[in-house]
Structure 1
Amino acid sequence: MSSFQIIVGSMLGGSEYVAEACEETLIALGHQVDVHLQPTFAQISNENQTWLICTSTHGAGDYPDNIQTFITDLEKSDQDLSSINFLTIGIGDSSYDTFCYAAKKINNILISKGCTEITALLTLDMSEDIDPEERAQHWLNENKDLL
């Protein structure tokens, strides 16, 4: 099984709940999982890892405060990140024109750095009557053969 690094971007805690639900599901599927609630690029393993980015969008399409340093360091990095596979979950409200913009931006950064996207970005719309944790867990189970 794979080794997962769950990288969380959250302002109000919703992304943390989704990340914890994903951690439960990945462990149940037999994967090794580390969750990073205050992610720093230097501390996150990037050799033959699968990264699960779980982030909300703040303000006018900005990253949450806790993930900004990680993003800046990722953008500046010249490391070979081609061994990283990744998945992204964006949490937002579709009534805003910047719906899940932070997740979309980090997705593009990771692709530009040579990382391999396992499956298309999952967006969770909090303006709908959904259980975001359950939706994320269902999505992981649907894609378990790709993980």
Structure 2
Amino acid sequence: MAQIALIMGSVYGAAQTLADTIQQVLHDKGHTTIYNASALVSDVHDVDACLIITSTTGQGDLPSNLEGFYFGARDTMPLQNQKPFGVIALGDSSYQTFCGAGEKMEELFYELQGMAPVPMLKIDACETLEPESLALPWLENWLATVNLK
């Protein structure tokens, strides 16, 4: 099966809880994961795909535990050559910068020539109390579309 990097950015823990759940689902399906509370650029070098799960803080900013990865990837990560990636962004639609961190991560991976087979999932905390209710069906679709072996 595939090796998938889980890149997580969390402020209050919701994105981390969701990433933990997704990691378990991926393991149950036979995939291996690389998952650290503070992702490293080296985490994505030899994986088959990347999943980014992040909340947004401030004015569309990245959570502090994701900043190092973002700036390191922007400055040093090699082109991804159509490596599949997916983004699950958590946010609050009452802010103009709704899911801004997810949008930054998506833009970064596009700039690095990654391939997103399905659109980014934006989960609104104002409407969805349990992000898993939207994220797990999205994950199933992402896995089927990426068709990782």
TM-score, length basis structure 1: 0.91
CA change 1:60–1:133 in 2 (3 A) is same
Q: Distance in 1 between matches of 2:4 and 2:91?
A: 23
What is the distance in 2 between the residues matched to 1:132 and 1:21? 10
| Equivalent position of 1:4 in the other structure | 4
Q: Residues of 2 paired with 1:98 and 1:92: CA distance? A: 9
Q: Tell me the C-alpha RMSD between the 2 structures.
A: 1.5
- Over 3 Å counting, the alpha-carbon distance change for 1:40 and 1:28 in structure 2 is same
Match of 2:80 in 1: 81
What is the CA–CA distance in structure 2 between the aligned matches of 1:133 and 1:92, rounded to whole Å? Answer: 14
Counterparts of 1:78 and 1:35, CA distance in 2: 18
Following the alignment from structure 1 to structure 2, what is the Cα–Cα distance between the partners of residues 35 and 78? 18
Percent of matched pairs sharing the same residue: 27
Whole-angstrom CA distance in 2 between matches of 1:131 and 1:86 = 23
Cα distance, 1:82 vs. partner? Answer: 1.4
Please give the per-residue CA displacement for 1:20-65, whole angstroms capped at 9, x wherever unaligned.
11112212222112212111213x1323521100001110111000
**Which residue of structure 2 lines up, in the alignment, with residue 131 of structure 1?**
130
- 3-state secondary structure, aligned to 1:52: strand
Q: Which residue of 1 aligns with 2:104?
A: 105
Return 5+ residue gaps in structure 1 as ranges: none
Letter in 1 for 2:95: Y
SS in 2 for 1:116: coil
Structure 1: 4+ residue segments shifted above 3 A: none
Determine helix, strand or coil for the equivalent of 1:140.
helix
Q: Distance in 2 between matches of 1:60 and 1:22?
A: 27
Q: 1:101 to 1:12 in 2, by over 3 A?
A: same
Whole-Å separation in 1 of the counterparts to 2:7 and 2:75: 18
Matched residue, 2:119? 120
Matched to 1:115, the amino acid is: G
One-letter code aligned to 1:35: Y
1:78: how far off? 5.2
Equivalences, count? 146
